[in-house]
Amino acid sequence: MANNFAPTGFAPVNTSLGAAINWKLSTRRISAANATPIFKGDAVTPVLPASGYITQATNTSTLTAPLAGIFWGCQYLSTSQKRIVWSSYWPGADATGDVTAYVYDDPTARFMVQTSGGGFQIAGTPATFTDSPVGQYCNLNVGVGNTLSGQSGMFVDTIATTATFPFIITDMVLDPPGSNGTDATSQFNYVVVGFNNQWLRSNSAVTGIA
């Protein structure tokens, strides 16, 4: 069955250590002046110059800063409602003071994400791992977030050996058969990725985030 293109960002599935999804969310800060919406499942990066804040990652060929993790919601004092609001996404406005963001940043974390199409499929019928993208690096694409559900629209594209790309492909998603994204012989399939260029990994930003 051909896959439908309906990206929803990065969803945690497990870790390279075999742990279930019970790892804690780290708290980070978003500036109330940050007008860029950040959706649940979005990759985020530190704001540069370094300020302690995070923002939505952009789909550039080379990250200017390592990933800070995957955004999974926030809380903030709403200026209009005059109360603390818990939200699955940061709308880009309406906060008095800093926004508390919750982020998955375990460097061993694995995430399921949809692909953009060409180059990610397993060649052959039936599916085999000939020409599999597993072990290759991939870039991210911001896509379009959903302001009603707060869900990310990010997906991955551009597989290559480029070591500065933010993610590495660790597996293909083949189950349950017939579900959207599990046909690995057609475009828009799902893959599992791990962090490659991420601030808590030993191979990234060894001199610190400037």
- The answer as to whether 21 is a domain residue is no
Model pLDDT for residues 52-104, shown as the tens digit of each residue: 899 999 876 556 678 999 999 999 999 999 999 999 999 999 999 999 999 99
Other CB atoms within 10 A of residue 10 CB = 28
Cα atoms found within 13 Å of the Cα of residue 26, Cβ hemisphere only: 15
pLDDT in tens, 129-174: 556 788 889 999 999 999 999 999 999 988 888 878 899 999 988 8
Shared-domain flag, residues 45 and 118:
no
By three-state DSSP, how is residue 23 classified? Answer: coil
Whether residue 184 sits in one domain with residue 113:
yes
* Residues making up the chain, counted from first to last: 210
Nearest to 38 by CA among 95, 90, 77: 90
For residue 98, the enclosing domain spans 26-104
- Determine the Cα–Cα distance for residues 116 and 174; give it in Å rounded to an integer: 17
202 lies in some domain: no
Domain annotation covers residue 210: no
- Please tell me whether residues 86 and 124 are part of one structural domain: no
**Model confidence pLDDT, tens digit, residues 181-205:** 888 888 899 999 999 988 887 554 4
- Domain end, chosen from 49, 73, 104, is at 104
In contact, 95 and 78? CB cutoff 8 Å: yes
162 and 113 share a domain? yes
Q: Are residues 80 and 98 in the same domain?
A: yes
Whether residues 99 and 118 fall in one domain: no
- Are 119 and 176 in a shared domain? yes
CA–CA separation, 156 and 67 (whole Å): 14
CA–CA distance, 10 with 60 (Å, rounded to integer): 17
The reply to whether 97 and 47 lie within a common domain is: yes
What global pTM score does this model have? 0.89
Helix H, strand E, coil C: the string for 165-197 is CCEEEEEECCCCCCCCCCCCCCCCCEEEEEECC
Based on the structure, what is the number of domains in the chain? 2
Dihedral (CA of 55, 58, 64, 68) sign: positive
Last residue of a domain, one of 104, 136, 153: 104
Does 19 map to a domain? no
Among candidate residues 53, 78, 104, the one where a domain is terminated: 104
- Terminal Cα distance for the chain, rounded: 47
